[in-house]
């Protein structure tokens, strides 16, 4: 995704124009940062997996295992929770089942629906990622990068943006 800073459309006049241009620049910078942080998180997970010798799954699949956790879910549930896009989740779940990281079982009620849960191998990957996140959290605090209040502020702001974007998708048409 590439963020373009040349936004077409009517431009506000006077002081509002400067404030709007400044906000737009900050907003686009924040969007770029969120995207870059997500890619960086995937790189950090990939590096950890290379370090411990897990090479058959990628970072997206590892995060999927982490997010499933102790739950038994369908691909649809993962999509509706907002973790993954449709075709990506189906492909990754199939691959994880084929590699033995997940168990799958057809629903007794709706035979079209398949429920998945982590296998022992999947729980081991989840534990590796959980430990990686604990190490990161400890490092952020120890190096005074972020404290609890700062993290709460970031999370609160991101949740407000998430709600706003969700409303735009659901109610704009």
> Considering the entire predicted model, what is its pTM?
0.81
Query: pLDDT tens digits, residue range 64-74?
Result: 999 999 999 88
User: In the chain, which residues have pLDDT < 50?
Assistant: none
Give one DSSP letter per residue of the chain, joined into a string: ----S---SPPPPHHHHHHHHHHHHHHHHHHHHHHHHHHHHHHHHHHHHHHHT--SS-HHHHHHHHHHTT--B-HHHHHHTTS--HHHHHHHHHHHHHTTSEEEEE-SS-TT-EEEEE-HHHHHHHHHHHHHHHHHHHHHHHTTS--HHHHHHHHHHHHHHHHHHHHHHHH--
Query: pLDDT tens digits, residue range 104-119?
Result: 987 777 767 788 999 9
User: What are the structural domains, with CATH classification, of the chain?
Assistant: 56-168 (1.10.10.10)
Query: pLDDT tens digits, residue range 74-98?
Result: 887 887 776 666 568 888 999 999 9
């Amino acid at each position: 995704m590439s963020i373009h800073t040349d936004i077409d459309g009517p431009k506000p006049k006077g002081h509002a124009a400067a404030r709007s241009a400044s906000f737009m620049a900050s907003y686009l910078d924040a969007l770029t940062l969120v995207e870059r942080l997500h890619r960086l998180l995937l790189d950090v997970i990939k590096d950890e997996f290379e370090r411990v010798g897990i090479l058959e799954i990628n970072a997206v699949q590892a995060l999927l295992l982490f997010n499933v956790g102790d739950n038994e879910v369908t691909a649809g549930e993962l999509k509706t929770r907002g973790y993954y896009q449709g075709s990506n989740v189906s492909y990754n779940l199939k691959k994880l089942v084929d590699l033995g990281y997940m168990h799958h079982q057809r629903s007794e009620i709706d035979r079209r629906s398949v429920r998945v849960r982590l296998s022992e191998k999947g729980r081991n990957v989840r534990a590796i990622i959980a430990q990686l996140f604990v190490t990161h959290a400890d490092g952020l605090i120890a190096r005074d990068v972020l404290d609890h209040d700062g993290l709460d502020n970031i999370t609160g702001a991101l949740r407000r943006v998430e709600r706003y974007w969700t409303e735009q998708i659901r109610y704009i048409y």
